Structure 1
Amino acid sequence: MPDDLLERLDATATRLRRSKGWIINDALREYLEREHLRQRRDEETREALAELDAGQVVDGDEVLAWIDSWGSKNKRESPR
């Protein structure tokens, strides 16, 4: 680990009254969660683009009409 990073880690551990291992584990856990979410977003984007390419889209006017019907007596079914 570079000296400057180790110094910052030591200072943070002292300030938080936590071990360096705890801080490293916490940082790693957060990093892995962010990467997992990024991967999920990428996969969902690819799936959405594939649906778009296949013509599986819903007309925007249908969506707006459905939203406008919320809370009314004539609530519409969600567009498919």
Structure 2
Amino acid sequence: MSITSVRIQAELENGLDALASKLQRSKSWVINQAIREFIEKQELEQQRWQETLEALTSVKQGKVVSGEAVHAWLGSWGSAEELPLPKAGE
């Protein structure tokens, strides 16, 4: 494991001390958990942003499903004649 030095604001240091004590863990463990969760969250946000850009590109290319088709599909849920998932252009 590598060592990294950081400056921590006093109020964060107090919270870190309190949390580490409450969890009966080291401050290092708490910091590692926080960084891990932050990185995972940022990666997920970047993935969602990329998926949003791809979806917008699809819309610009006309690859969309009409609102009527979606409402009909949703309205058929749970019925004996449930409709298949609508596809773009239908």
The verdict on a shared fold, with TM-score over 0.5 as the criterion, is yes
Counterpart check, 1:2 vs 2:24: no
Counterpart check, 1:13 vs 2:16: no
Give the whole-Å Cα distance in 2 for the aligned partners of 1:30 and 1:74: 44
CA distance change for structure 1 residues 68 and 6 in 2, over 3 Å: closer, same or farther? same
Aligned to 2:85: 78
SS of 2:63 mapped into structure 1: coil
> Where does structure 1 lack aligned partners over 5 or more consecutive residues?
none
Give the whole-Å Cα distance in 2 for the aligned partners of 1:24 and 1:49: 37
- Structure 1 or 2: more helix by fraction: 1
Give the whole-Å Cα distance in 2 for the aligned partners of 1:8 and 1:40: 31
Q: 1:28 aligns with which of 31, 35, 39?
A: 35
Aligned residues: 80
**Farther-moved stretch of structure 1 (2-11 vs 22-31):** 2-11
> Where does structure 2 lack aligned partners over 5 or more consecutive residues?
1-6
* TM-score, length basis structure 1: 0.88
By how many angstroms is 1:2 displaced?
A: 3.1
**Farther-moved stretch of structure 1 (14-23 vs 57-66):** 14-23
**Farther-moved stretch of structure 1 (10-19 vs 51-60):** 10-19
**% same residue:** 45
By how many angstroms is 1:77 displaced?
A: 1.2
Give the whole-Å Cα distance in 2 for the aligned partners of 1:70 and 1:3: 54
RMSD of aligned residue pairs (Cα, Å): 1.4
